[in-house]
Structures are given as structure tokens and as C-alpha cells.
Amino acid sequence: MGRLTFVAAVSCFVLALGARAAEPAAAAPATHVGPEVCATCHEAETASLRHYADHPGVADCEGCHGPGSAHVEAGGDATKIMNPGKLAPAAAAKTCLGCHDQQHVRDWPGSTHQRADLSCLSCHAIHNKDVKNAALLKAPVQADVCFGCHKMQRIQTMMSSHMPLRESKMQCSDCHNPHGSTTKALLVDASVQDNCIRCHMEKRGPLLFEHPPVRENCLNCHDPHGSLHDNLLVATPPRLCQSCHLGTSHPGQPRNQTSRFVFNKSCVNCHTQIHGTQSPNGTALMR
Amino acid sequence: MRRTSWLAGILVVVAAIGRSWSEETPPPVPAPAEGTTSGDVAIGVGAVDGLDESSKAQQYREIPSGFFLDQFNFAAAKHDWRFDLFAVDLLQEDQRIVFSAQKTKTLRINVGYDQIPAWYSNTAATLFANGGGGTMLFPATIRQANETATPVAGIATNLQTSLAAAQPFPDLRYRRDRAFGDLTWQTPVPGLTATAAFSQELRNGTHDQTLSTNFSVGTDVTEFAATTDFTSRQASLGVDYAHKRFDVGGSVVWSEFHDDMTSTSLGTTVNDAYIVDNPLRATDGTPAVPNPAAPNNLASSRFLLSAPPDSRQAWVNLHAGWRFADWGRASIEFAVGENQQDENFLPFTLNSAIVPVTPLVILKDGTTAVSAYDGKIDLTRWDARISGHPLRWFSFEAFAHDYHYDNKTPTYVLPDWVSADVALDGAAATSEPFGYEQQSYGANATFRPNPRLSLGIGGRRESWDRTFRFVDHTDEDIFDINAAWTPGAIGEIRLSYSHGERRFDSYTSTTNDPAGLRTFDLANRDRDKFQIMASITPIDRLQLGLQLFSLEDTYPDSTFGVTSAKDDSWTLDFAVDCGKGVTVTGDYGEDRYQWTLDARYAAVDPLDDWSTTPDDKTKNYGLGVLASVGKRWSLGAHAAVNDAVGKQPAYFVPGGQANGNGTPFPDTSSKLETFSADATWKLRKHLDLSFLVTYENWDEANFQRDIMVPWMGAVDGGASESVYLGARVPGYDFTWARVVMHYWF
């Protein structure tokens, strides 16, 4: 009996899986009416619809909302037409993924934001005529959309040492792909190093004398979202350097603020080539 | 729906207040009818006060005074083509221009140009003149006077007096100019898309650069305004094919970096290096061959400092994926790449008095004499992932990832090396071509017992293999759980917790390091991370948000070095619809990062124990109001404060002398206050007039090098003659008022 129960359970699971994987049932017997019909009642939504302007004849109202004849015939009954804004996140995203599922969006399934139950409409507003953005984001400044949830990063970007994010000279998507990525923190590139070096190419190397923590991960010393300390450093030298270099001789001393090992650029006064050097005399990263 | 409306409302408020900052992507204009044009232009006139106080106010931007073109959009449609031109801050240091052309279902082309300034300091002073490229010339008269002057008193006096007369102070700034473009072509073959992209960036200007010169006698450190002359280029070609549930594609990405600087001095020309005059000497000298004219200084008359060398990189990427109907996807990516850097070796020294017994020949792999570097990195990456939600109540993901930075560069033996251009050190040095491989794999699952509740669990392992480091191999096992609860329209709450343990196989210390010293990036580490995110709408007109974040690292195996670190943050925000077209938003947040460093100088003496607990605290708060008055006026105002203090207390053993270094470091503080307000009057259907004012005040103490005032006098032995730029970044206080007319056509 136990074995039969087990077989039955497995069979039910397989059937459920198959049913889930089967093609969806045919849509309601409605037909397309065209955007001109939609505009007779929804003038504001259609007049400023950039999405349609970009894809005329391809992505009109019914491309997302489905055939509208039943909705029209019912005098505008909202239950007779699909509204992605009222669907569960996965179903809402499916509407967009029907066209937008390649290139930078192809890793959406299983991505961090998808698993957090977000959908395309969490960040994008197709109809919001008051807020215009070429990526159809809900705010004109991309960072404001991200900071809606990532509030800690917003605090950091307001710090004195920062990348030009709040000056709108770069965007969150310059480093992150919010639609999904195979790397941690949804980075655009394959590693932290590759991500940073795409803009800071002078640090790429390889170099004759390397500083291994630099080559391995920029985040060992820098906080890219913002810092109280110069050059986006997580701490001020010499303490930052002493977090690894605490041996005998001069690195291990606590130092006075007027010591030549502390004032001005501290350790980097002499070890100027902290990211590595090509000099034959660079064994101590001084030249 | 209500929550979504509120979120949109908040973003509208933020957008309205942030309007003066917005200059990112081109805001779309209504689609022009066939054969017509449309667009908008915003022109302003303004006045600004207080920008001269500090470079920090315009570190990454230009704030214009007088007439300015805020933004310009132009769109045209003809047959199947649509054209867009977008420009913002035109003719300013931070301008951006983008042109787009697209043909329905076929082609999209974007080309653009932008500039990002980077203004480091407007208070620097230097005695070094730029002799072209990276050649830094020191005034000959001062050099010659320093040659025979008495150290400490005479030289310091010479330099201080001269520096005071060095006017005007040179700006330390460069600008990043970038040209870019991309193309997407939907080919006639259904599902086949081709892409191409390119970019070129020029980075020109100056940056602050230090050079360690001579130790124990003469100038210790020299600082000058170095040339920045970088060119970076990147290009890519790609093709993607999608058919039903299957997709495949690939791309080739190439990039190169050029340091376009060449330095020439006294008949010597070097690429990718700076040649810097010695402030104390006009001719070379060493302990063995001193210059009689400058007996107190045994250094080179010129110093050589390397600059970033040219390099190239290429990647070939392949990817393929399969969708399981509408419930899942499996994908795999594979990429190979290579970095190359093959510049000629720089000379060991320009000091003619240093004559080695045998020529200094660099040996590749210790055997073959070479004159150029043969740097090569083989890059390999692959990713595999399967994810899906096969059942309404169950979703999962499994993944594996590998990134290999395989350093194929030979080892180079340098038979000797020059210490501060005084003498040969007398010992060989060997390069260490550092490489690593990082692997991670794991899985997670999410269960939804009902539509309002989800529970997730997951785990992964991250492994590192490294060469030429204290630790060859580490494994980190991470376990995480999360939950999300949506109790109806009132809101939602998300909780997550993760615990990770990183362990190394073995740790090989150097002989100079005390036993138990660990570097934080390799040491055994336990990491706990906890996060709460909540969004609550208790009544229709009020929305509240709360976030808590806590991260704690402990290093169980580390006796010395970083032994703990903690990062705690929380934020609270609200949005209120007060009725009559008035919306008020506010937020408050705190962030605190603290860590502990246990140290000992000279391991044999317990009285020399010391430790420090750096502690950075930041508070951020703001308040905003948006109001619509009648049909023609909209008003907005927003004020925000970011207030941060960093402490570096040090602790010593009771009775310990701490080597006479008991004076604590001063606190670093930074406080930014911003206020912006705007009033927009809708004059006509297509014409707005806006009145805007922005106020910023930034106060700082000991930020950047201010923490230790640039020193030109006796500090401790050997530092009495340092020549510093004196670059500081003081606080600022500016007000910018402007009127902007916005017209749509």
C-alpha cells in the first residue's frame, strides 16, 4: 500500500508538472480593435505612449492588454480585458517577456529581483505620462527608481567621496544589470574587477609588480557607492593599509598624526604605486 | 493597485524635486506624425554665488551662470524611420548629446558624446613646471641653492618661501570625454539579431601624484601635478538567435588602453613614465660618488616614476538557453579572453652616478635577458543555471560559476633595484605573476504555501584558489533563509538572514609578521547578515517604509589584524497625501560601520600592544513637499542633510609607551546640506516657466589630505624637505537661482 501511495504521489507530481508546462489555454474569443478605438476613451494613455511610438504597428495597446473587442462591447468593463498592472508579478512580467526576453533581459528568470517577487512594472511605467524616461522608468532619474528599495545605497551616494551618480553623470545600470546577471550583486561584467576596469582601464595591467588584493577585488579597499574617506576608500590610511600590513618595521606602529608615515597621503606618500607598477624598482610599489 | 499608485506618487514627488538634477537619458516626446517633427527645448538664465570657494561644488559638474541650454529634444518621423536628438547642458563642461535613428522592426542606431569633469582641487600650489608630457621641471635657481643649503633649516626655508610665491595655484582636474555608439539590427532572418557597439574615452588633465625621493638625507617626498593623458577604446560585435524556446548567441569584445604620455629630459625619452627633477640636486650623486656641490644629498638629479602602461583585452562570449514552456529556463555561458601588456622595461634609474658592477639585465624566467615585458592573462569564464517555477507554490534555482584569471606572464628576475635613486639595494627581486580562480555553486528554493506568504532557503559555496599569496585555497559556505509576507493591501514585509563561514587550508606567514596576524581578505571569517524591508499603508493617504540591515564579520583565527567588523543601517520614510494637491515626503536613515584592528609593534614587547576601532557614522534625512495650486501652478521644495563623522580611536596597553604616539587622530567629518525649490507656471499648453533655486552647503574637517595639513617643515627625521602640492578640498556654500523656460513643439 505504501508503494502504491508513493507511485500515486509521483504520478500526481508529474501530471502537475506536465500541466504547468503545457501551453496555456486559448485566449477569450475577443478580437483586436486597434489603438484608435482605445484612444476614444483612453486618450491620455495613448497620446503619450512612447512604447507604441517606438514600435508602431507592433506594440500597440492590445499587444499587452490582449484583444479589446469584448471590453469595448461591454462598455468598458474592466473585467473584460487584461490589465498587467493588476496581475501577480510573474504573470505581469510574462506580458513583457513575450517580446523582451533577450540580450540584457535574458537572465530575468531566477534573477534576484524576480525571486523577490518583483515584476517589470515594479520599475517601469508604460503609461505614466507625467514621468517620461526613455527606458519607461517610473522616475526621470534612474537612481531614484533603484533607491526606492535600496535606501542604504542612497545614503552612501550622498557621502563626500562618491562617483558621479547624484550628478546624473552615471547610472546604477552602468555597473549593475537589474534584469539579472550571472555574477553576484547583478554586475554587468563577469567579475568586480572587469566591472570597474571597464571605465578605469589604466588599472588593468598585468603589471610587473602586482598588489594582489587590488588585482583580486577592488572592494577590498574601495566602497563604490560612497564613502566618508577620500578616493572611495573604506577607511583612511594608514589604518586601511594596516588592516593587512602589521608586521615589524614601520607598518606596525600606531603613529602620530604629524608623522611622515601618516600625514598627507600617509602610506601612499612613498608607496605611490599602490595599484601595482611596471617599474623595475617597484618591488615595494614606490616607483 | 493602491500600493502601486502610492509608489508611483512618491516617485513623481521625487522626480519633480530632482528635476534640476536630471540629465540622464532622453525623455521621450510624443510620437510625431508621419513627416512632422516634435520636440522640446528648455532655456534658462541664472546666477550663482559661492562657487569659487572650493572645487568640490563642481567636482563632477558645471553649474552655469548666465544663459544656458538646459536641454533640447528633437524628434522626426519619415516613412518607417524615426529620429531623435537629445542634448543636455550643451556647451558646458558636462554636456551630453545623443542621436538615435530607428527603423521599425529593423534597425536602431545610437551615437553620442558626453563629458564628465573631475575637479580634484583648486587650492594646490607647486614649484614644478610641466615641461611637456610627463616631464616635471623644478626651478634651477632653487635647486642649486638647495644643493649647498643646510638640511632642515636652509632647505625647508628655501622651499617654503618659494612655494608661497608660486601663483596661481594650479587646478588639479581632468575631464573624461567619451564618444559612443551602438547598433541593433533585426535581420531579415526571423529571430536573428546583430549588435555592434563602440566607445572611445579620452581623459586629459592633471592629477595629484607623489614620488618618494631620497631617504635619510634630503627630500623625502615630492608631489606634483601630473599629466593625465589616457585613451581607452572598446568595440564589440554580437549576434543572437532565438527560435521558439531556444536561444543562442555570441559576441566578441575588444578593448585597449593607451597612456599617451612621453617624457623627455636631458636627452632621455621614456614612454609611460614621469621624469621629475630633484628639488635638491642639479647633478647626480651617490654615497660612492657624491656631488661635491651638494654633499648633503646623494640622490639623482632626476627621478623616474612609472605610469600606467598600454594594455589590450579581447573576449569571446557564447551563450545558449532553453525555456521550459513558461515556467523555467536553463542557460549556459562560456567565455574566453586574454589580457596583454608588452611594454619595454623602463630604465632602473636616470642617476648617472649609479654604475653597477655588472649591467642590470632583467632575466625572463631567470634565464633569458629581455628588454620588454611579456604580460599575458588567460581569462576563462563559464556559468550554468537552471531556474523555474514548475508549480504555483514552488520555484527554484541552481547555478554554477567559474572565473579563472590565469596569469601566463613569465617570472622576471631583477638582479638589483634602486632605492630612491641613491644606490643599488644589493639584492635581487623576483616578480610574482599573481593569478586566481573563483568558483561558486549553489541552489535555492522558494515555497508559497499561500499567495500572501513565501519562504525561501538556499545555500552556496564560494571557492578561491590563488597563487603568490599567504593562502592558496579558501572555501566559504553560505546558508540563507528568507520570508516575505503580504498581509493584504496594508503592505508587505520581507526578512532575510544569511550565515557564511570562510576557511582557508593553510596560512603561510612571512618571517617579519607576528604569529596570528591575518590579512582580512584571506583570514577565516564568519559572516552574518540580516535584513528587514517593510512597506506599510495603514491608511489610504499614508505610506511608511522601514529597512534594517546588519552585517557582522568575526575572524576567529585572527589574533592580529582585523578581528571584527560590523555594518548597521536603518531607514524610515513616509509619504502623505494631505489633500488639495499637496504631498509631503520624508526620510531618515543612519549607517554605522565599525571595525577592530588588533596590532602589536615589535612582537617581543607586550607594552607595545595597541589597537584601534575605526567608527564611521552617517545620518541622512530629508523632507519634501509637492503642491499643485490651481490649474497653472505647481510648487515643490526639498531639503536634505547628510551628516557623517569618522573616528579613529587608538588604545594602548596601560603603562605602555606606544612609541610616543598617544595622540589620537582627529575625527573626519563631512556635512552636506541641500535645499531646492521650484515653482512652475503653465503659461500656455506648450509653454512652462519655472523659477528654481538650489542651495548647497558642505562643511568638512580633515577630509582627504586635510587630516594632516601638508607639511613643509621638520616633522621627524628625513621629512624636513618634502615638497607638497598643498592641495586641499575646503568646504563650500553656494546658491544657484535660475529661470527656465520650457517649450514643446
Per-residue pLDDT of B376-391, as tens digits, reads: 999 999 999 999 888 8
Is the Cβ pair B333, A182 closer than 8 Å? Answer: yes
Angle ∠(A47,B186,A112) on CA atoms, nearest 5: 75
Say yes or no: B343 contacts chain A, CB-CB below 8 A.
yes
Mean pLDDT of chain B: 87
CB-CB under 8 Å, B589 with A151: yes
Task: State whether A206 and B561 contact (CB < 8 Å).
Answer: no
| Average pLDDT of the residues in A68-88 | 86
Q: pLDDT digit string (tens) for A11-24? A: 444 444 444 444 44
DSSP label at A209? B
As a residue count, chain B comes to 745
Which DSSP string do the residues of A29-91 spell out, in sequence order?
S-----HHHHHHH-HHHHHT-HHHHHSTTTS-HHHHH---HHHHHTTS-GGGS--GGGS-HHH
Q: Say what the pLDDT of residue A23 is.
A: 46
Q: Give the pLDDT mean for B712-716.
A: 43
Mean of pLDDT values over B357-367:
92
Distance from CA of B534 to the nearest CA of A (A): 10
Question: How confident is the model at residue B20, as a pLDDT?
Answer: 33
Cα atoms in the 13 Å half-sphere on the side-chain side of B354: 24
CA distance B523 to B508: 11
Q: Which of B97-111, B222-236, B501-515 has the lowest mean pLDDT?
A: B501-515
Tell me what pLDDT residue A91 has: 82
Task: Report residue B252: phi and psi, to 5°.
Answer: -120, 130
Rg (CA), chain B: 31
pLDDT at B716 over 50: no
Q: Is residue B660's pLDDT more than 80?
A: no
Q: What is the mean pLDDT of chain A?
A: 82
Say whether pLDDT at B45 is over 90.
yes
Q: How far apart are CA A74 and CA B164, in angstroms?
A: 84
Which of A 26-45 lie inside 8 A of B, CB atoms?
A: none
Check the CA dihedral A35-A40-A42-A48 and report its sign.
positive
User: How long is chain A?
Assistant: 287
pLDDT higher than threshold 50 for residue B711 = no
Q: Chain A partners of B195 at a C-beta cutoff of 8 Å?
A: 103
Q: Which of residues 118-157 of B touch A (CB under 8 A)?
A: none
Percent of chain B with pLDDT over 70: 88
- Band (B10; pLDDT cuts 50, 70, 90): very low
- Lowest-confidence segment of A121-125, B326-330, B621-625 by average pLDDT: B326-330
Query: ∠ CA B395-B397-B403 to the nearest 5 degrees?
Result: 165
Q: Which of the four pLDDT bands, split at 50, 70 and 90, describes residue A165?
A: very high
| Neighboring chain A residues of B326 at a CB cutoff of 8 Å | 24, 94
Note whether A103 contacts B195, CB cutoff 8 Å: yes
Cis status of the peptide bond prior to A212, with omega within 30 of 0: no
Q: How far apart are CA B435 and CA A215, in angstroms?
A: 8
pLDDT-derived band at B717 (thresholds 50, 70, 90) equals very low
Question: What is the C-alpha to C-alpha distance for residues B279 and B741, in angstroms, rounded to an integer?
Answer: 55
Question: What is the distance between the alpha carbons of residues A233 and B285, in angstroms, rounded to a whole number?
Answer: 38
- A87 falls in which pLDDT band (50, 70, 90)? confident
Distance CA B195, CA B738 (A): 42
Judge whether B262 and B133 are in contact, CB under 8 Å: yes
What is the reported pLDDT for B659?
52
A and B: number of Cβ contacts within 8 A = 430
Q: In chain B, which among 188-217 make CB contacts under 8 A with chain A?
A: 193, 195, 201, 209-212
Measured CA to CA in angstroms, residue B653 lies from B608, B609, B656 at distances of 7, 6, 5
Q: Which residue has the higher pLDDT, A25 or A247?
A: A247
- Please answer whether residues B199 and B234 qualify as being in contact, where contact means their C-beta atoms are separated by less than 8 angstroms: yes
pLDDT of residue B376: 98
When pLDDT is cut at 50, 70 and 90, the band that residue B678 belongs to is very high
Among the listed ranges B32-46, B352-366, B627-641, which one has the minimum average pLDDT value? B32-46
Dihedral angle sign, alpha carbons of residues A80, A83, A89, A92 = positive
Q: Which pLDDT value is given to residue B17?
A: 36
Cα–Cα distance, A151 to A173 (Å, whole number): 16
Contact in structure between B561 and B519 (CB atoms under 8 Å)? yes
Please give the average per-residue pLDDT across A66-92, as a whole number: 85
Q: Above 50 in pLDDT, residue B13?
A: no
Q: Provide, as residue numbers in chain A, all residues whose Cβ is less than 8 Å from the Cβ of B347.
A: 280
Which residue of A169, A229, A259 is in closest CB contact with B715?
A: A259
- Closest to B121 (Cα-Cα) out of A159, A203, A264, A223: A264
- Exposed, middle or buried: residue B15 (CB in 10 Å: 0-12, 13-18, 19+)? buried
Query: Is A257 within 8 Å of chain B by CB?
Result: yes
The answer to whether B195 touches B184, Cβ cutoff 8 Å, is: yes
Query: Is residue B533 less than 8 Å (CB to CB) from chain A?
Result: yes
Q: Which cell numbers hold the place of B302?
A: 632626476
The grid coordinates of residue A62 equal 492590445
Least confident of A6-10, A169-173, B337-341: A6-10
Picking from B108, B511, B521 by the largest number of A CB atoms within 10 A of its own CB, the best residue to mutate is B521
CA nearest to B229, candidates B146, B143, B138, B310: B310
Residue-level pLDDT at B710: 42
Taking contacts as CB-CB distances below 8 angstroms, the residues of chain B near A283 are 414, 417, 429
- Percentage of chain A exceeding pLDDT 90: 38
CB contacts under 8 A, A 34-93 vs B, are 47-50, 52-58, 85-86, 88, 90
- Asked if A244 is an interface residue toward chain B (Cβ–Cβ < 8 A), one would say yes
**Which chain B residues are within 8 Å of A109, Cβ to Cβ?**
323, 328-329, 387-388
Per CB-CB distance under 8 Å, the chain A contacts of B23 are 168
Summarize the confidence of residues B424-451 as an average pLDDT: 94
Cell of B361: 639585465
pLDDT for the residue numbered A16: 42
Show the cell assigned to B199: 566607445
Please tell me the predicted confidence (pLDDT) of residue B31. 52
> What's the confidence (pLDDT) of residue B203?
97
Q: Which residue in B407, B451, B533 is closest to A206 by CB distance? A: B407
- pLDDT at residue A174 greater than cutoff 70: yes
Cβ count within 10 A of residue B500: 19
**pLDDT at residue number B602:** 53
Question: Could you tell me which of B105, B186, B35 has the C-alpha nearest to residue A57?
Answer: B105
With bands split at pLDDT 50, 70 and 90, how would you rate the model's confidence at A132?
Answer: low
Closest among B587, B580, B673 to B635, alpha carbons compared: B580
Residue B599 pLDDT level (bands cut at 50, 70, 90): confident
The Cα B36–Cα B21 span in angstroms is: 31
What's the pLDDT band for B520 if we cut at 50, 70, 90? very high
B739 to chain A, closest Cα gap in Å:
20
Higher pLDDT among residues B298 and B529, named by residue: B529
Average pLDDT over residues B215-234: 82
Q: Does A112 touch chain B (CB under 8 A)?
A: no
CB contact (8 A) between residue A23 and residue B325: yes
Residue B265: all three cell numbers together: 629630459
Q: Cβ contacts (< 8 Å) between B27 and chain A: which residues?
A: 132-134, 140
Which residues have C-beta within 8 Å of that of residue A129, sequence separation ≥ 6?
Answer: A44, A45, A47, A48
- Decide if B311 touches A, using CB distance below 8 A: yes
Contact A204 B311 (CB under 8 A): yes
- Nearest chain B residue (CA) to A199: B232
Q: What is the pLDDT of residue A31?
A: 85
Q: Which grid cell is B110?
A: 545610437
Residue B461 reports pLDDT greater than 70: yes
Residues 148-177 of A with CB under 8 A from B: 148-149, 151-152, 154-156, 158-160, 164, 166-171
Q: Which of B591, B599, B711 sits opposite A152 (nearest CB)?
A: B591
Mean pLDDT value of segment B621-635: 95
More confident of the two residues B538 and B6: B538
Which residues 6+ apart lie within 8 Å of A84 measured at CB?
A: A64, A65, A91, A92, A95, A96, A121
Alpha-carbon span B65 to B88, nearest angstrom: 15
Residue B718 has pLDDT above 50, yes or no: no
Following DSSP, what letter does each residue of A92-138 receive, concatenated?
A: HHHHHHTT--SGGGTT-TT-HHHHTT--GGGTB-SS-TTS--TT-BS
| Least confident range of B194-198, B296-300, B520-524, B640-644 | B296-300
State the DSSP code for A22.
Answer: S
Say if the ipTM goes beyond 0.95. no
